[in-house]
Structure 1
């Protein structure tokens, strides 16, 4: 059994190694596949770093078309995706799904048969479509312009093998942080995923961390990104 803390998301080295080997025994070739995907993600991510001054910034404009202040307040209000462009919305939905896949694989060993972790031959599209349907059960989470036709556009957005948003490639926490130039983006994705799926990674709840980050945004504390 390994330890996972929602608040800081640290891997505990010895325990994590044992857990990863167990998962690797399920899918012997997945470790190699993840290395290839990680290399692709790095190539598409850019090299932005985050200073202490912008540690609680929404996200880097190099990865999204528009920034919004106080993202954790928006998450709490369930308006995190509201007023975003179509491209940004598609991208964030895809990354919420991909990071949750990796979290489930890493922390609990859970693998969906219709995901690339489960050997899906369609590039993971069926698994992502199922995730989108879960999102659509909570329509208030989506922008007002969302329609079934937009859902299909979102699916197509994830099929470009040359782009960051390729559903056929896995991402990990550090890939997301580097791509968006924001160490808090994995936390945002995980909290949005919790609103969609009902629980956070490993069955944890993010309510306490949400309150902490909202206090930071209101000037009442310091950001936790670990």
Structure 2
């Protein structure tokens, strides 16, 4: 199913450029040059993501963002020529998900759109589903779909590797012994060898490009077990 993206920018050339690149990525684009037309569109169409220019005549992008957040939870990317930090802080505080400053590179814009849609689909802003999501330090783990994204890159794990990573992340800040990992992941009561756990941890680190000497995620506590710090 194609995603519907709303584009609001009073600069026709920029709006048209965004539309071209989005359509090349097979998105449906609803393009508007006035905020009132964009707001009417949202009442009649299911929008999956919006790109809003901040500096709009009559109704500015922040006001449109406020109106969106009164009813909808889809991702919103703010587009502006300004670079003041206060504008970004204002946008994020009102519910913006990302911020792009003009002039921008179209391919970067596309990458940000894809990232926001992917994250929204993983979360779906649903409290029940959020219980199956762990998100920290650039890593997103979805227990229901068994997917792991590291800095927006999909990491392919075996079921056992996924279970180890999920359990360690679920217990961030705690040191988990090899015996506990074995019992929780393999479901076996008796723990005979540390080698099985060590091999899977090594494979996990390789796939996550996590070094043993200076790990970002899985740290070894010698003589005790493994931990992922908060």
Q: TM-score band (shorter)? A: under 0.3
TM-score, normalised to structure 1, is 0.23
TM-score, normalised to structure 2, is 0.22
**Which is richer in helix?**
1
**Which is richer in strand?**
2
Rg comparison, structure with higher value: 2
